Amino acid sequence: MWPPPASVVQTSATPAAAAPAAVAKEPPPEPNYFVNYAKESALYTSGLVGLVGLGVAAPNNAFAQMLTTFSLAGIAGKFRVKHCGNSQTRYQQALFCLVTFTIYIIILFT
């Protein structure tokens, strides 16, 4: 372009806005593993107590056996989904998957 455009320089009487001071965040509290595992253990214990109660009230042995097999398969499946992908190393993951598969086989043939 000819003639060149006039350069635009903004002059202001107010100073540039200062950056706000960084707020130090507190780290999150460390999880209480004892309470977490105690809750999980209480959940499974109450489920197994309920299973025993259903076994006592079962009309016949076949019903109790089918209910037990189904419940154990559900517990093993939950552990498989929850823990198999969260292991720290590939060795631990492979070992847990092998144990879970063994539990499936035992449940299948009982």
In tens, the pLDDT along 45-86 reads: 887 788 778 778 878 888 878 877 887 777 777 776 666 655
Question: Is 47 among the domain residues?
Answer: yes
Give the count of domains, the chain: 1
Question: Is 29 among the domain residues?
Answer: no
Question: Is 2 among the domain residues?
Answer: no
Residues 6+ apart with CB under 8 A from 100: 76, 79, 80, 84
Residue 60: φ, ψ to 5°? -155, 175
Write down the pTM of the prediction.
Answer: 0.39
Question: Is 19 among the domain residues?
Answer: no
What is the per-residue pLDDT for 47?
78
What is the per-residue pLDDT for 26?
87
pLDDT of 7 strictly over 60 = yes
- The stretch 101-110 carries a mean pLDDT of 74
What is the per-residue pLDDT for 12?
60
Question: Is 24 among the domain residues?
Answer: no
- Any idea which of 13-22, 25-34, 47-56 has the lowest mean pLDDT? 13-22
For 77, the domain range is 34-108
At 13, is the pLDDT very low, low, confident or very high (cuts 50, 70, 90)? low
